[in-house]
Amino acid sequence: MTATTAPQRTNLLGMTRQEMEAFFLSIGEKKFRAAQVMKWIHHEGCDDFAAMTNLSKALRQRLGETAEVRGPSVVYEGTSSDGTRKWVIEVENGSYVEMVLIPADNGKRRTLCVSSQVGCSLDCSFCSTGKQGFQRNLTSAEIIGQVWVASRSAGARRDSSQRPVTNVVMMGMGEPLMNYDNVVPAMKLMLDDNGYGLSKRRVTLSTSGVVPMLDRLGDELDVSLAISLHAANDTLRSELVPLNRKYNIQTLLDACRRYLDKSDSARMVTIEYTVIKDVNDQQQHAIELAEVLKDLPCKINLIPFNPFPHSGYETPSRNQVMRFQRWLDELGHTAPIRSTRGDDIDAACGQLVGRVKDRTRRHERYIQSIQLDAD
């Protein structure tokens, strides 16, 4: 007897509008079905074709047999005292990814921090994700699936003023520009009216500087851009961000200018600067930073280093970070300090550990440990 395997169903979750239209045409249906189904999936958080009542019964049945809406499964969900919500999702092959939804402006803004890879290959010396090494790229369904999960569990609504996720930052695990082919479709869905309908200003890609892909991104999408700079001289930056040996600071800043030139909406770049004790927190560093940024329309965000075991780095004192901020201010740059972990899980966004599954560890212990973390 030969074993038969069930035919694989097509997962519609990560499909852009174009891909979805092509899918419906390929099964002999009209193109407009794509918009209908996308609204069910992304506006309503629906994963059951039977509930898609504006489709004919026959189509619903057919979709049920050949397609699916498969999001990542949530293994942990919690809310911290300041209202920050945190999820851990399991993606295929037993990897875990964390997501945080951070409220601001009296709840008017709800920013979701999204991951693009499990681990990261770029090995920045101060980043716990980098220290885990690279496991794999997330698929577009797994990337948009994070927005889908967060919207759904916060109560997806049709009314855009009530949407549970108002902003997305690609600042979770991984380097989005190293997973370009999956990140771009997912970001298109964030912007699409039949997807999450977010304005370009409210969707931000953060990169440590994969220059050729940044140029490509500028040709294809017009989202807000954040650059992980962390140092304003090449010697130090190459130590912190090894990718700098390939694309140095000037090459990267030139690419930022090209990006802004192509953009209709992004008028400035956000420069992320993780402040590390005795490494990049001295007055000389502030002077260098202001100097390299003088011809780039930008705003600087200061992120006090989030410590993790065996990093070899320390967090500067609050006073030192404020001194650094003052030096920048005197040089004409207003640089807000992003609150850190310990205050709460806010900056977990910059340090999503994402715990790649340790196969020798029991699942229960894992879940228990993350629950303790979020308390």
Q: Is 127 a catalytic residue?
A: no
CB of 308 to ligand SF4, least distance (A): 11
Binding test (CB under 6 A) with ligand SF4, winner from 91, 112, 124, 150: 124
**Ramachandran region of residue 14, left (φ > 0), alpha (ψ -120 to 50) or beta?**
alpha
Binding test (CB under 6 A) with ligand SAH, winner from 142, 272, 281, 346: 272
**Cβ-closest position to ligand SF4:** 130
CB of 354 to ligand SAH, least distance (A): 11
The option from ligand SF4, ligand SAH, none interacting with 29 (CB < 5 to 8 A, set by class) reads none
- Interface segment toward ligand SF4; rule CB under 6 A; list 9-17, 30-38, 126-134, 189-197: 126-134
**Cβ-closest position to ligand SAH:** 350
CB of 341 to ligand SAH, least distance (A): 8
CB of 249 to ligand SAH, least distance (A): 15
Among residues 98, 142, 175, 272, which one is catalytic? 98
Number of amino acids touching ligand SF4 (CB under 6 A): 11
The option from ligand SAH, ligand SF4, none interacting with 303 (CB < 5 to 8 A, set by class) reads ligand SAH
Could you say whether residue 228 binds ligand SAH (CB under 6 A)? Answer: yes
Q: Is 364 a catalytic residue?
A: no
Among residues 120, 124, 127, 349, which one is catalytic? 349
Binding test (CB under 6 A) with ligand SF4, winner from 98, 142, 175, 281: 175
- Buried b or exposed e, range 146-180, using 16+ CB within 10 angstroms: bbbbbbbebebeeeeeebbbbbbbbbbbbbbbbbb
The option from ligand SAH, ligand SF4, none interacting with 272 (CB < 5 to 8 A, set by class) reads ligand SAH
Could you say whether residue 129 binds ligand SF4 (CB under 6 A)? Answer: yes
- Interface segment toward ligand SF4; rule CB under 6 A; list 125-133, 156-164, 212-220, 324-332: 125-133
The 3-class secondary structure across the chain, one letter per residue, is: CCCCCCCCCEECCCCCHHHHHHHHHHCCCCCCHHHHHHHHHHHCCCCCHHHCCCCCHHHHHHHHHHEECCCCEEEEEEECCCCCEEEEEEEHHHEEEEEEEEEECCCCEEEEECCCEEECCCCCCCCHHHHHCEEEECCHHHHHHHHHHHHHHCCCCCCHHHCCCCEEEECCCCCHHHHHHHHHHHHHHHHCCCCCCCCHHHEEEEECCCHHHHHHHHHHCCCEEEEECCCCCHHHHHHHCHHHHCCCHHHHHHHHHHHHHHCCCCCCEEEEEEECCCCCCCHHHHHHHHHHCCCCCEEEEEEECCCCCCCCCCCCCHHHHHHHHHHHHHCCCCCCECCCECCECHHHHHCCCCCCCCCCCCHHHHHHHHHHHHC
Q: Which is nearer to ligand SAH, 263 or 274 (CB)?
A: 274
CB of 123 to ligand SF4, least distance (A): 6
Could you say whether residue 171 binds ligand SAH (CB under 6 A)? Answer: yes
Catalytic positions are: 98, 349
List of residues contacting ligand SAH (CB under 6 A): 126-128, 171, 175, 206-208, 228, 272, 274, 303, 305-306, 350-351
List of residues contacting ligand SF4 (CB under 6 A): 120, 122-124, 127, 129-130, 174-175, 208, 228
